Amino acid sequence: MILGDLILQSRKNKKWKFSGIDCLQECLNKDHFRSYPHHVEYNYNSRGFRDAEWPQSLSELKNSIWCVGDSFTVGVGSPYNFTWPQVLSAATGRRCINVSMDGASNNWISRRSQQIIKEVAPKQMVVLWSYGHRRELPDTNLPDEDRRVRSDKYDSESDNITNFINCYISLKKSNAGTTIFNGIIPNSDVNEIFEHVTRSWNNIKDVSWPDSFPSTLTEFNQLPDHVKKESRSVFTQVNFDIWFLSNNFYRQNQLLQLSNLDYARDYHHFDLVTSNFFVQKILENFNG
């Protein structure tokens, strides 16, 4: 059996009405939940993924587009056909295989993506990376769902950004011919850093300052002394090294930073409009 250990045991062949925060008790906006106009249910295949049964032949698996991620890829809060893997399948007329797990860490996403490339070598893959504070336990005897962990040990932005970059680079190095398009979920650690820096800079700058915060440490050091002094006093909670490390990384690598254009039933995950936007960007990349 290809990818024989890629199974979420607790969800095998299950059918649920609600999942995670997609329920009235846990959702972020109860009025939105009650008024959401679409029917949502969760049907999991024999491997425990919110997907149809996977093809059996290696050739079919190779020609499928593999979609890897966390609950934003599961499509929590959305009808099955609103999830971005299904929107991508409809747009391309090709089988899209959904490998996603609620609460998945970037470590899990990178590890499983590398395994798929090693065993299947698909032509194309889309990876939607997760939050940096998520990790997985090192005990390989545990099933994937039991390895999920969020620890205070990893609360610093430095650890989160560094861990994500390492996961990304590890996957990139393992790639042997698979075209990969990378995105990042809304409200990720990186998005929050970028938004904080941009907002703070806009609040303190005057007409004599550059329009945007410098993208490299060299550019920052070339600023007038009074600008450097005042900006440092405002950015006390921002680690300059992490800002420049992450900014340099994103300038050198192709990653789409998503934001919610609409909301699923739980009022946290994105819905069809954002799925369509994401798929449009994927197609532009693949076709280009």
Length of the chain: 288
Q: What is the CATH number of the domain that holds 155?
A: 3.40.50
> From CA 161, how far away is CA 245, in angstroms rounded?
9
> From CA 16, how far away is CA 8, in angstroms rounded?
15
Do 236 and 114 share a structural domain? no
Do 192 and 173 share a structural domain? no
Do 245 and 177 share a structural domain? no
What's the structural domain count of the chain? 2
Do 152 and 63 share a structural domain? yes
Q: Is residue 92 part of a domain?
A: yes
Q: Is residue 144 part of a domain?
A: yes
Q: Is residue 93 part of a domain?
A: yes
Lowest mean pLDDT among 3-7, 58-62, 75-79, 175-179: 175-179
Residues 6+ apart with CB under 8 A from 107: 134, 135, 136, 163, 167
> From CA 57, how far away is CA 39, in angstroms rounded?
33
User: Which has more confidence, 123 or 247?
Assistant: 123
Q: Tokens for 171?
A: 């996957």
Is 201 a residue whose pLDDT tops 90? no
Q: What confidence category does residue 82 fall into, taking pLDDT thresholds of 50, 70 and 90?
A: very high
Burial 254-281 (b: 16+ CB within 10 A, else e): ebbebebeebbbbbbbbbbebbbbbbee
Do 162 and 54 share a structural domain? yes
State what percent of residues in the chain have pLDDT above 90. Answer: 67
Q: What confidence category does residue 126 fall into, taking pLDDT thresholds of 50, 70 and 90?
A: very high
Q: What is the largest CA-CA distance in the chain?
A: 65
Do 242 and 137 share a structural domain? no
- Domain with 204, as residue range(s), is 188-253
Is 214 a residue whose pLDDT tops 80? yes
Do 128 and 22 share a structural domain? yes
Is 174 a residue whose pLDDT tops 80? yes
- Burial zone of 284 (CB within 10 Å; 0-12 exposed, 13-18 middle, 19+ buried): exposed
Do 248 and 111 share a structural domain? no
Task: Read off the pLDDT of each residue in 206-227 and give the average, rounded to a whole number.
Answer: 84
Do 146 and 104 share a structural domain? yes
Q: Is residue 1 part of a domain?
A: no
Q: Is residue 127 part of a domain?
A: yes
Q: What pLDDT, on a 0 to 100 scale, did the predictor assign at position 247?
A: 77
Do 84 and 198 share a structural domain? no
Q: Is residue 227 part of a domain?
A: yes
Do 149 and 92 share a structural domain? yes
Q: What pLDDT, on a 0 to 100 scale, did the predictor assign at position 237?
A: 59
pTM for this prediction: 0.89
- Average pLDDT score, the chain: 91
Q: What confidence category does residue 38 fall into, taking pLDDT thresholds of 50, 70 and 90?
A: very high
Q: Is residue 132 part of a domain?
A: yes
Do 59 and 201 share a structural domain? no
Q: Is residue 4 part of a domain?
A: no
